[in-house]
Amino acid sequence: MSHKELGKPLRNERHRDIWGGVSVQETLIQSQNQATAFRGTQFAGIAILEIPDGAKVRSRKTTNQEGHFTLWAAPEELILYVREVAKLPA
């Protein structure tokens, strides 16, 4: 879920569009590195998505971080595309 849907406050008006989306990484390694950087949060695992062409999901390269994208879709739509949940690195 997005920070907006989770009820987290918008910190910067310039990021309003991103606030309403879900942050994803292009590769599993990038996701593992991101999860490690935010070790204090409660990640249960890394969802690996496979989003087919024509899905009701909008995506865009966001931020300056390599491999970072934002997805916009209803949570019930995104959950359809979870193909695997990888364990977090130890």
Taking Cα atoms as reference points, which of 57, 62, 53, 48 lies closest to residue 78? 57
Question: Please, are residues 4 and 19 in contact by the beta-carbon 8 Å criterion?
Answer: yes
Q: Which residue has the tokens 């949060």?
A: 41
Domain that holds residue 38: 13-86
Beta-bridge mates of residue 84 = 48
Digitized pLDDT (tens) for each residue of the chain, 90 residues in all: 788 988 999 999 988 888 999 999 999 999 888 877 766 666 678 999 999 999 999 999 998 889 999 999 999 999 999 999 998 776
Residue 80 within any structural domain of the chain? yes
Dist CA 28 CA 24 (whole Å):
10
Predicted local distance difference test score (pLDDT) of residue 76: 93
Residue 8 within a domain:
no
Q: Distance (Å, rounded) from C-alpha 39 to C-alpha 14?
A: 26
Total structural domains within the chain:
1
57 falls within a domain: yes
Residue 64 counted as domain residue: yes
Task: Let me know if residue 7 belongs to a domain.
Answer: no
